[in-house]
């Protein structure tokens, strides 16, 4: 770390190269592996909190490289032909896309100076972000800037639902692609499908300890670290990097410049310098994130909770949520009958109507439905980008699971360390365990739901404006569909004699989900607002011929044999057309009709085969 503003460590200078131990991976995250292959790139990453505060530190880094001969002022430590630097912001607000947009502009301007000693622009960015960004932005649509579910559905099609369910089951999921901006964009977009997850569900998602020496590791096994031991650290020593500008948020953690195995990290100074995240001006209270520490019991296995404690908390929680449900608007479209395809409206949380209360067990800010689910808690990590130096986390005994992104092929090759590998380039979800594949095999109702999404996204239609959702088939609309799906699943679980209803979601899937930490935490509290939600699958109904086609399409797209058959049929269809033209008019009619019959029969999957190369 060559520069930080405010200093990463209290009492040290802006040009100090030392880093807090907890953040020692920061340079490797800010300057990604293989960065030299790209002129510029953007990274989203998460750092552990410092000083016992359990709030994740969100990092955004913009990387660029420039030819050394283009510099107006060439410092002595620049010895290579190209200079690679990253300008980085640490924030306590998960405003990934918004911070990225601001950071890219400043990084470009910083490089245009062609003199990396001109760090005043980094200080100005830090002050600007702290004055203009606050926690109120989490209530609007800006929190989703740059995350497009529409693009995700276009690329992964029905597999989006499989990714959604994989994370619900808290499996070890590894995303893989280069460059990093495509990786983190896809991963965070999947998480944005979970109601409230980006805004309030990631505050506990990076509770890990950096790797220490073998002797220290042995000592750790004897003394389990307390929450206070998780201190946020910034790592330096990145090759040719400049970490500088800052990301805005609840508290501005700082901007960094990493350069030539050094990094510049602007950090905010304030009375509380633990996370280096509070602004140095008077707006500390406005930017400060509400810190609702969960009871000590939430850090121990939830199963050890005294049932009477849960019952008492449920009574109090019930009183609060009754009030909350009166104040909050109900989700339109959730109580629609399943006979007609539901056109849903985004829950009005973004309009400021949602009443959030701290979860007694999860410690997260929850709405009246118990959202966000406590998935990324108690050792289930969310690491949008993982540096090779963090590889040990995949097999760490204190890590029960993860949703992580990687660009290094070494991560992908070690399949035994994950349950599923998502190869973004090919839209391929590789699930290693046959039993897990069976659990995640979509039901007929699930296939209808996925097909409904794909059709609305792919069909050329006039934009139909829906209140609060943008247009049908748009990003907000897709998030609303997944919100309705999840609410319906939660409501169905609460119903007596619900076997038939739950079978629409997948009997084996629901059974597996009920064993997860997030379900148990959610089920430990009462959620009266769900009584008003339709407790059946949005696409339940009788089996029909169209369902057979959907099932065939799904099978063809997911099995190796099916892919080969699909490719053969596409090439056969082309040959038929060409042969028909060659034979002439008389025979051509017969070939044309045969070709049209064939194309009609395989229309459900040829489009997917051609567009995805799948």
Compute CA 488 distance to the chain's CA centroid, rounded to the nearest angstrom: 22
Tell me which residue of 408, 437, 407, 406 sits closest to 420, measured CA to CA.
437
* pLDDT for the residue 571: 56
What average pLDDT does range 372-390 have in this prediction? 95
Tell me which residue of 392, 369, 391, 367 sits closest to 489, measured CA to CA.
369
| Spatial separation of the C-alpha atoms in residues 218 and 440, rounded to whole Å | 38
Span of 316-325, 436-445, 500-509 with lowest mean pLDDT? 316-325
* pLDDT for the residue 366: 87
Residue 165 has pLDDT above 70, yes or no: yes
Element holding 89 (H helix, E strand): strand 82-91
Q: Which letter does DSSP use for residue 338 in this model?
A: T
- pLDDT band, residue 201 (cuts 50/70/90): very high
* pLDDT for the residue 306: 42
* pLDDT for the residue 550: 55
CA distances 314 to 196, 262, 267, 292, Å, are 21, 51, 41, 18
What does the block give as tokens for 562?
A: 């099916």
Residue 478 has pLDDT above 90, yes or no: yes
- pLDDT band, residue 451 (cuts 50/70/90): very high
What average pLDDT does range 378-388 have in this prediction? 95
- pLDDT band, residue 588 (cuts 50/70/90): very low
Contacts of 1 (CB under 8 A, 6+ apart): 8, 16, 17, 19, 26, 27, 234, 235, 236, 243, 256, 257, 258, 262, 263, 264, 265
Compute CA 180 distance to the chain's CA centroid, rounded to the nearest angstrom: 14
Q: What are phi and psi of 542, to 5 degrees?
A: -70, 150
What average pLDDT does range 574-581 have in this prediction? 47
What average pLDDT does range 46-55 have in this prediction? 81
Q: Are 110 and 259 in contact (CB under 8 A)?
A: no
Count the Cβ atoms, other than its own, within 10 Å of residue 345.
20
More confident residue, 316 or 71: 71
Q: What is the pLDDT of residues 521-546, one digit of tens each?
A: 999 998 989 989 988 898 876 555 55
- pLDDT band, residue 267 (cuts 50/70/90): very low
The distance in angstroms from the start CA to the end CA of the chain is: 43
Against a cut of 0.95, is the pTM above it? no
What average pLDDT does range 196-220 have in this prediction? 74
What average pLDDT does range 408-428 have in this prediction? 94
Q: Are 577 and 595 in contact (CB under 8 A)?
A: yes
Q: Are 436 and 421 in contact (CB under 8 A)?
A: no
Packed helices 180-191 and 159-168: angle between N→C axes, nearest 10 degrees:
70
- pLDDT band, residue 307 (cuts 50/70/90): very low
* pLDDT for the residue 57: 94
Q: Are 9 and 18 in contact (CB under 8 A)?
A: yes
Give CA torsion, residues 251, 256, 261, 262, to 10 deg. Answer: -100
What three-state secondary structure class fits 246? strand
Tell me which residue of 4, 2, 3, 1 sits closest to 252, measured CA to CA.
4
* pLDDT for the residue 216: 43
| Spatial separation of the C-alpha atoms in residues 296 and 594, rounded to whole Å | 70
The verdict on whether omega for the bond into residue 6 sits within 30 degrees of 0, i.e. cis, is: yes
Tell me which residue of 411, 416, 419, 449 sits closest to 437, measured CA to CA.
419
| Spatial separation of the C-alpha atoms in residues 581 and 459, rounded to whole Å | 31
Q: What percent of the chain has pLDDT over 90?
A: 40
């Amino acid at each position: 770390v060559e520069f930080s503003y405010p200093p990463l460590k209290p009492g040290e200078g802006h040009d100090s190269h030392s880093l807090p131990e907890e953040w020692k991976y920061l340079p490797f995250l800010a300057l990604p592996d293989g960065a030299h292959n790209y002129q510029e790139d953007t990274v989203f990453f998460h750092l552990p909190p410092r000083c016992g505060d359990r709030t994740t530190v969100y990092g955004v880094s913009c990387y660029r490289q420039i030819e050394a001969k283009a510099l107006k002022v060439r410092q002595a430590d620049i010895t290579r032909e190209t200079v690679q630097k990253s300008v980085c912001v640490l924030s306590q607000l998960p405003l990934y896309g918004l911070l990225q947009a601001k950071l890219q502009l400043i990084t470009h301007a910083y490089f245009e100076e062609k003199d990396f000693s001109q760090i005043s622009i980094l200080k100005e960015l830090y002050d600007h972000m702290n004055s203009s960004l606050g926690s109120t932005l989490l209530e609007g649509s800006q929190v989703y800037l740059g995350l497009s579910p529409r693009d995700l559905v276009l690329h992964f099609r029905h597999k989006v639902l499989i990714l959604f369910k994989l994370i619900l089951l808290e499996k070890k999921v590894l995303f893989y692609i280069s460059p990093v901006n495509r990786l983190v964009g896809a991963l965070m977009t999947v998480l944005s499908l979970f109601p409230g997850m980006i805004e309030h569900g990631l505050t506990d998602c990076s509770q890990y300890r950096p790797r220490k020496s073998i002797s220290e590791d042995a000592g750790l096994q004897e003394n389990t670290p307390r929450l206070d031991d998780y201190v946020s650290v910034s790592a330096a020593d990145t090759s040719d990097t400049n970490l500088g500008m800052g990301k805005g948020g609840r508290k501005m953690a700082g901007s960094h410049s990493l350069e030539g195995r050094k990094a510049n990290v602007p950090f905010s100074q304030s009375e509380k310098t633990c996370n280096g995240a509070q602004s140095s001006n008077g707006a500390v209270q406005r930017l400060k994130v509400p810190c609702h520490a969960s009871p000590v019991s939430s850090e121990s296995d939830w199963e050890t909770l005294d049932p009477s404690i849960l019952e008492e908390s449920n009574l109090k929680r019930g009183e609060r949520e009754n009030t909350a449900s009166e104040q909050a608007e109900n989700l339109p479209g959730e109580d629609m009958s399943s006979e007609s395809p539901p056109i849903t409206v985004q829950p009005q949380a973004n309009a400021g109507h949602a009443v959030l209360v701290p979860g007694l067990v999860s410690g997260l800010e929850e709405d009246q439905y118990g959202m966000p689910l406590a998935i990324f808690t108690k050792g289930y990590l969310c690491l949008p980008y993982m540096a090779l130096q963090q590889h040990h986390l995949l097999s760490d005994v204190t890590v029960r699971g993860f949703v992580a992104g990687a660009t290094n092929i070494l991560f992908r090759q070690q399949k035994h360390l994950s349950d599923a590998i998502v190869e973004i380039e090919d839209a391929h979800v590789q699930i290693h365990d046959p039993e897990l594949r069976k659990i995640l095999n979509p039901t007929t109702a699930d296939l209808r739901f996925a097909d409904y999404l794909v059709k609305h996204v792919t069909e050329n239609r006039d934009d139909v404006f829906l209140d609060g959702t943008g247009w049908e088939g748009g990003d907000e609309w897709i998030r609303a569909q997944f919100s309705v799906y999840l609410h319906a699943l939660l409501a169905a679980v609460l119903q007596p004699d619900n076997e038939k209803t739950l079978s629409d979601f997948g009997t084996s899937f629901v059974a597996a989900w009920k064993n997860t930490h997030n379900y148990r935490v959610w089920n430990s509290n009462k959620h009266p607002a769900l009584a008003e939600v339709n407790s059946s699958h949005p696409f339940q109904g009788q089996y029909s011929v169209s369902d057979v086609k959907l099932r065939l399409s799904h099978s063809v797209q997911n099995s190796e044999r099916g892919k080969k058959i699909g490719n053969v049929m596409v090439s056969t269809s082309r040959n038929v057309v060409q042969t028909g033209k060659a034979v002439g008019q008389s025979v051509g009619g017969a070939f044309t009709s045969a070709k049209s019959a064939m194309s009609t029969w395989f229309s459900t999957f040829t489009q997917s085969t051609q567009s995805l190369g799948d």
